[in-house]
A and B are shown apart, each in its own frame.
Chain A
Amino acid sequence: MPKSLNTKGKNSIFRRIADLYIDGFRNMTVGRSLWILIIIKLFIMFAILKLFFFPDLLNSTYNNDEDRAQHVRNELLKNK
C-alpha cells in the first residue's frame, strides 16, 4: 500500500504535498544538472534580459490607460 494511505490523519494535506516535492527533489537522479541549467536560464531571463533589455514600454512610461491609449493613437497615426 502506498505510504500516503498509511498516514491517515497523521499529517496534514499540506505537509504531505510539501513532502512530495521535498522527497522528489532530494531523490532526483538526472535532475541536478537540469536544475542548474534551469536556474541559469531563469537568471539570464529575469535578472538580466527583463531588467535591462525588456522594459514594458507603455507601463513604465505612462501612469494611466488614457495616456497609454493616446500614445498608441499618436503612433498609429504616424504614416509608418
Chain B
Amino acid sequence: MNELTSLVDWSRAQFALTAAYHWLFVPLTLGLSVIVAVMETIYYRTRDKKWLGTTKFWMTLFAINFAIGVATGIILEFEFGTNWSNYSWFVGDIFGAPLAIEGLLAFFMESTFFAVMFFGWEKVSPRFHLTSTWLTAAGASISALWILIANSWMQYPVGMEFDPAQMRNVMNDFWALVLSPVAINKIIHSVFSGWALAGVFVVGVSSWLLLKRRNVEMALRSIRVGAWVGFAGILITVFSGDGSAKVVSKVQPMKLAAMEGLYHGEQGQSIAAFGILNPAKTHDNDEPPFLFDISIPKGLSFLAEGDLNAFVPGISDIINGVKVSSEGDTLNTVPYAERIAIGKEAHKALKQYDDAKKAGDTAAMNKANMALQKNFKYFGYGYFDTPEEAIPNVPITFYAFHIMVIFGSYILLFFVIVLLCLYKKSLTKLLTDSKPVQYLAILSIPVVWICSEAGWVVAEVGRQPWVIEGLMPTRAAISDIPTTSVIITFSIFAAVFTGLLAAELNILFKFISKKSKENIDNPTI
C-alpha cells in the first residue's frame, strides 16, 4: 500500500506539474486572441495606422505565448498512456471522441488561420485577414471546449454505459456529455477567465510602458480594449462561478463541503469569507473547524442553492447520508458505508463476470453483468474500506478556493477602477502619472495567474479521491509501473520546464523592452 501511495502521489504530482505548466499559456491564448481581434476590428473599421501598430504589437506577444505553450499539452497525453493506462482504457471513447474532434477541427482551424494572421498581412485582403484573426480566436476557444467537456465528464460521468466485455465506458448519449451542466459552467468559467487574465496582462504591460513613458498613447489605447474585454471576462467568470457552485452542490457536494471547510451543515449556512482551518479537525471529532474565521451569514446557502435558508450538508453529513431540504425536511442520501458495500458488490459481480467469461458461460456472464450494472454507480467506492478514504484534502481545497475568490474579487475591482480612470478625465492621471498605480497594475499580472491556477486546484484536488467521480478512484487508475521511473520523469520535467520557461520569458521581456523603444504607432505592413 505504501509503495502504491507513493506511486499515486508521484504520478499525481507529475500530472499536476504538467497541467499547471500547460495552463500558464492557455488562458492567455484564449483571451489575448480576442483582444487582438477587437483591436484589428477597430483598425479595419477606422483604417487608422495607429491601431494597426497596436494590433501588431499585441499579436506578436500572442504569437510568443502561443509558441511557448505549443505542444505542452501533448505531454499530458503521454502520461495518460504510461502512468494512467487503466484510466485511459476505462474511459474509452468518452475521452477519445472529444479529443479527436479537438485535434481534427479546432487545432487545424487554429493553426491554419494562425499562419494567415501572422504571415498574411501583405498576402490576403484586410477582410480575409480580419476573418482569420477572429477564426484563430474561435479555434482556440473551440479547442479548449472539447478538453473541458472531457474533464467535466470525469467530474460528472453521464451519457455512457459500462461494458464489462470491453472494460470501457461506451458513449450512448453524446449530447448528455456535451450539454451536462458541469460542462456548460466549466467551459464558460474557464474560457472567460482567460479573457480576464489577458485583460490584466494587457493593462499590466501597458502600465509598464506608461511607467517608462514610452508609447503612451498606444498604451492607453491598449488599456481601453484590455480593460473592457477583461471586465466582460471577469463578470461572466463570476456569474458562471456562481452557476458552477450550484451545480457542484448537487453533483459533487463533498467537493463543496471541502471548499468551505464545512463538516456539519445547517439551514441558512454561513460562508467563510476568510478563515484559518483548525488542523486538529476531523469529520468525527468535536473540534471547531476554524481557528479564526470571518463569515457571511447565510452566504453558503445562497451560493449553493440560491436560497438564504437552504440546508447545505457538511462532510460528516454527506458521509452519514443526511441532507435537509430548504423546507426543513430531512432527506436521506446514500451513506458512504452503504456506498462502499454496494461498490464491493459491483466488484464481486465483475469478478463473477470475469470467471464466467473464462469459462465461456454466457448465461452466467449476463447474470453477473446485470448485477454489475445495478451497482455500477458506486463501483469506485468498492476500493475503500472506510468512508474517510472518500474525503478530499480539505486544507488545499479550502485555501485554493479562497485564494481564487479573493484574487478574483480583486480583479473585478481592478477593472472597475481602471475603467473609471480611463473615462473620468480627472482620474486618468492616475494611470499615466501615478507610479504606485502603475506598479499595482504590473503586480496584478502574477495575481491573475495565481487566481487562474488556484481555480484548477479547487476543481482537481476537490474531486479527490476520484479520477472519475464515484466510478474510479485515483489509486485504481494508475498503471503498475516503478515509482522510480515516475520520480525520474518528474525531475526531468521540473528541470526542463523551469529552463524553458526562463528562456521563453526572457524572449517575451526582451521583445517588450525592445519594441517599447520604437514608435509602435507607425508600423510597416
Contact = CB atoms under 8 A, between A and B. Distances in A.
Contacts of A45: 71, 74-75, 78
A4 B119 CA distance: 12
Interface of A: 2-5, 16, 19-21, 23-25, 27, 30-31, 33-35, 37-38, 40-42, 44-45, 49-50, 53-59, 65, 68-70, 72-73, 75-77, 79-80
23 contacts: A5-B125, A20-B123, A24-B115, A24-B119, A24-B120, A30-B60, A30-B64, A31-B67, A34-B507, A45-B74, A45-B75, A49-B78, A54-B82, A54-B489, A55-B82, A56-B81, A58-B81, A58-B85, A69-B89, A75-B476, A77-B350, A77-B351, A80-B475
Given A37-B507, A44-B496, A53-B485, A76 B90 contact: yes
Contacts of B475: 80
B71 A68 contact: no
B459 to A, nearest CB: 24
B124 A2 contact: yes
Given A2-B123, A3-B122, A68-B89, 5 more contacts: A3-B123, A30-B63, A37-B504, A45-B71, A76-B86
B82 A56 contact: yes
Contact of A72 (B68, B167, B496): B167
B347 interface: yes
A49 B166 contact: no
Interface in B448-492: 475-476, 478-481, 485, 488-489, 492
Contact of A76 (B68, B116, B165, B476): B476
A50 B78 contact: yes
Interface of B: 4, 60, 63-64, 67-68, 70-71, 74-75, 78-79, 81-82, 85-86, 88-90, 115-116, 118-120, 122-125, 164-168, 347, 350-351, 354, 383, 475-476, 478-481, 485, 488-489, 492, 496, 500, 503-504, 507, 511
Contact of A73 (B71, B122, B354): B354
Contacts of B480: 75
B89 A72 contact: yes
A69 to B, nearest CB: 4
Give the dominant DSSP class at A's interface: helix
B479 A57 contact: yes
Contact of B64 (A23, A34, A77): A34
A50 B485 CA distance: 13
B77 to A, nearest CB: 9
A50 to B, nearest CB: 6
B507 A33 contact: yes
A77 B168 contact: no
A3 B488 CA distance: 53
Contacts of A19: 123
Contacts of B68: 34, 37
A21 to B, nearest CB: 6
A20 B115 contact: yes
A44 B88 CA distance: 24
B166 A65 contact: yes
A73 B116 contact: no
A2 B64 CA distance: 26
A20 B504 contact: no
B355 to A, nearest CB: 10
Contacts of B383: 79-80
Contacts of B165: 69
A15 B228 CA distance: 41
B265 to A, nearest CB: 32
A10 B410 CA distance: 57
A33 B476 CA distance: 43
A17 to B, nearest CB: 9
B73 to A, nearest CB: 11
Contacts of B89: 58, 68-69, 72
A77 B67 contact: no
A64 B475 CA distance: 25
B71 A41 contact: yes
A73 B350 contact: yes
A76 B511 CA distance: 52
Contacts of B120: 20, 24
A28 B222 CA distance: 24
B347 A77 contact: yes
Contacts of B492: 49, 53
B161 to A, nearest CB: 15
B115 A57 contact: no
Contacts of A79: 383
Nearest to B358: A70
Q: What are the 3 tightest A-B residue pairs by CB atom distance, in nearest-first order? A: A24-B119, A56-B81, A54-B78
